[in-house]
Chain A
C-alpha cells in the first residue's frame, strides 16, 4: 500500500471516529424516543469548549477526558429533562421542531457568552507529532482518536449488551408499552440513553478541536448533520449501523478528496450526499438495519 493511501486511510478513520461517536448517540436517542435530535451536534461544541476551559484551568488531559464525558452526560440529561420530557407524546413534527429550537438556543447562548470569534485549540505538543510505523508516518493525534474511540465504543457495547440497563434500553427502544408493563423505569432508561449518547458527542468535540485546531460556537452544526447522514446510511435506530455509517462517511469524505483530481476536492460534501442518495436508492432502510420497521 502506498504511503499516501495509508495516510488517507488513517485520516479517514479518525474523521469517521468523530462522526461515529456523534452518530451513535443520535441513533440511540432516535431509537428510544423516536426523536430526530438536531440539537445533538451542539453537544460536540459544548464538549469542545468545555475542554478549552478545562485546559486553561490547568487540568491534566486524562482528567479532562473524564470531565468532558461527565459534562456531556449532564448537558444531555438536562436537555432531556427540561425540554423533551414534558413534550413526550407530542407529534413527531413538534418534537423535531423542538430539537431545532434547542439547537438554536444553545448556539446563540454560546455566541453571546463566548463570542463568534474562533478559538485556537491545541493538543499538547507530543500529541501533535507524527510517528513512523514501518516506513509510513501518521499523525499521533489521529491514532489516539482512533484508539480512544474504539475503546469508548467497546465500553458502550458492553453497557448496551451486557448490563440490565442496556437490556432495558433495547427493550424500551423496541416496545415502549411492553417495557412499561414489565415495570421498567422508562424515564430513567431514556435519561440514561441521553446521558450516554451526549457524553460520546462531547468527547467527539474534544477530538474535533484537537484534529482541526480551531473551534467556534457554531461548530456543532456540521457534525450533527453528518451524524444524521451516518445514521441514515447505517439504518437509523441501530447502534452498530450508526457506528459503521460514521466510519463509512469519514472514509468516503477523505478518500473522495484524496483520490479525485484536485479541482473536485472542494465538492467533497457533494460526493458524500451523492453517496447517501445512492445508498437510499439501493437500500432505503439503511445498510445495516435489521428490520423494516418505521425509520426516519
Chain B
C-alpha cells in the first residue's frame, strides 16, 4: 500500500532523513519507534506533503491507483486516502467540536456519508457528541485526542498516520486510544503509528521499524523487536 524508497529529506541545512526505505502492507499496523529527533515526525510530515523530499519516492497505492506522494500536494494526498493525525493533536481550538469534524470531512462531498461517519465518531467517543458545540480549545487533552482521531476518520482514510497519540495523556485514556486504534485496524484501515510508548506500540504492531539519526536501523515483527536486546535496552527500559 505504501512503499518508501531511498527517501532523503532536509530541514534547512540539516540532513534529517537518510535513505529511508520501508513498506507498509495493506491492512497492517506498522510502528515506527525511535528517540526524539530521530526523524519520525519528519517522515510523517513528508508523507503528508508538508515537507519536500530532496530525493527518493513514496508510492501510495489505494483503490487501484498509485501516486508518488513526493510529487503530490497535501490536498491530493488526503483525497487519495492517506490521512494524518498530527503530533500534539492540533485540533482547531477556536472552532467547535462539530466544526472540527466538518473540517476533517473537507475533501468529502457525499453529505449522507459525512453524516453517517460523524455519527459513528460520536458512537466511538460519546463525550464528543455531548460537547459538539463547545470550542475544541476548552476540551481536555484526552478529549482533544479523541477529536483529532475523529476528525481524521471523517476524511475517510484508507491509511492513517498517527503521530504520538499517547503523548501527555493519562494511562486510562491511552488504553482507550489504543483500543480504538486496534478497532480501526480491524475495520481494514492500514495504520502507520509513531509512538514513544514503544512497549504498547510493539504489542499491537504487525511490523515495526526502529529509527536512529534519520536511518532505519532495525526492522522486524512487533514481537521480534520486543525481544531484541538493543530495543529492550534503549526503548523498553529493560536492563540487558
A-side residues, CB < 8 A to B, are 164, 167-168, 170-171, 174-175, 177-186, 290
Are B90 and A183 within 8 A (Cβ)?
A: no
For the complex, what is the distance from the CA of A294 to the CA of B74, rounded to whole Å?
26
CB < 8 Å A-B pair total: 67
CB of B87, distance to nearest CB on chain A (Å)? 10
- Which residue of A has the minimal Cβ distance to B100? A171
Within 8 A of A (CB), among B82-119: 83-84, 86, 90-95, 99, 102-104, 106-107
Q: Determine which residue in B84, B90, B104 has the highest number of CB atoms from chain A within 10 A of its CB, and name it.
A: B90
B166, CB-defined interface residue at 8 Å:
no
Q: Which residue of A lies closest to B80 (CB)?
A: A183
Give A171 to B92 CA distance when docked, in angstroms: 6
* Residue from the list B77, B83, B90, B106 in contact with A168, Cβ < 8 A: B106
Q: Give Cα A264 to B99, complex, Å.
A: 50
Q: Which residues of A contact B94 (CB under 8 A)?
A: 170, 174, 290
Known: A180-B50, A180-B74, A183-B75. A164 touches B102 (CB 8 A): yes
Residues of B within 8 A of A (CB): 48-50, 74-75, 77-79, 83-84, 86, 90-95, 99, 102-104, 106-107, 151, 155
Give the residues in chain A near B104, CB-CB below 8 Å: 182
Which residue of A181, A184, A290 has the most chain B CB atoms within 10 A of its CB atom? Answer: A181
Given contacts A164-B106, A167-B103, A178-B86, contact A183 B92 (CB under 8 A): no
- Tell me what chain A mostly uses at the interface: helix, strand, loop, or mixed: helix
Beta-carbon contact of B102 and A177 below 8 Å: no
* A167, A179, A183, A186, most chain B CB atoms within 10 A: A183
- A183 adjacent to B79 (CB under 8 Å): yes
Q: Is the CB of A178 within 8 A of B91?
A: yes
Residues of A contacting B151 in the complex (Cβ-Cβ under 8 angstroms): 182
Contact in complex: A178, B90 (CB < 8 Å): yes
Can you show 22 pairs from A to B with CB atoms below 8 A apart? A167-B99, A167-B103, A168-B106, A170-B94, A171-B95, A171-B99, A175-B93, A178-B90, A178-B91, A179-B103, A180-B48, A181-B83, A181-B84, A182-B78, A182-B151, A182-B155, A183-B78, A183-B107, A183-B155, A184-B75, A184-B103, A186-B75
Residues from chain B with Cβ under 8 Å of A177 in the complex: 50, 86, 90
Bound CA–CA A185/B93 (angstroms): 20
Extra inter-chain contacts (18) besides given A181-B86, A182-B151, CB under 8 Å:
A167-B99, A167-B103, A170-B92, A170-B95, A171-B92, A171-B103, A175-B93, A177-B50, A177-B90, A178-B90, A179-B103, A180-B48, A181-B50, A181-B84, A182-B107, A183-B78, A183-B79, A183-B106
Is there an interface contact between B86 and A174, defined as CB atoms closer than 8 Å? no
Residues of B within 8 A of A180 (CB): 48-50, 74-75
CB distance from A289 to the nearest CB of B (A): 11
Q: How far apart are the CA atoms of A289 and B79 in the complex, in Å?
A: 35
Distance in Å from the Cβ of A294 to the closest Cβ of chain B?
14
B19 CB to nearest chain A CB (Å)? 26
* Closest residue of A by beta carbon distance from B93: A174
Residue of A nearest to B151 (CB): A182
Inter-chain contact A178/B79, CB cutoff 8 Å = no
CA distance A100 to B51 in the complex (A): 30
What is the minimal beta-carbon distance from A165 to any residue of chain B, in angstroms?
Answer: 10
A186 cross-chain contacts in B, Cβ below 8 A: 75
Q: Contacts of A164 on B, CB cut-off 8 Å?
A: 102, 106
A178 to B104, CA, bound (A): 10
CB distance from A181 to the nearest CB of B (A): 5
Chain A residues within an 8 Å CB radius of B102:
164, 167
Q: Is the CB of A182 within 8 A of B50?
A: no
In the assembled complex, the CB of A172 is this many whole angstroms from the nearest CB of chain B, namely 9
Q: Which 9 A-B pairs have the closest CB atoms?
A: A183-B78, A183-B107, A178-B90, A180-B74, A171-B92, A183-B75, A171-B103, A181-B84, A182-B103
Shortest CB-to-CB span from A32 to chain B, Å, is: 13
CB distance from A118 to the nearest CB of B (A): 44
Chain B residues with CB under 8 A of A184: 75, 103, 106
Q: In the complex, which residue of chain A has the Cβ closest to the Cβ of B49?
A: A180
A178-B86, A182-B155 known; A167 vs B95 contact (CB < 8 Å): yes
Chain B residues near A183 (CB-CB < 8 A):
74-75, 77-79, 83, 106-107, 155
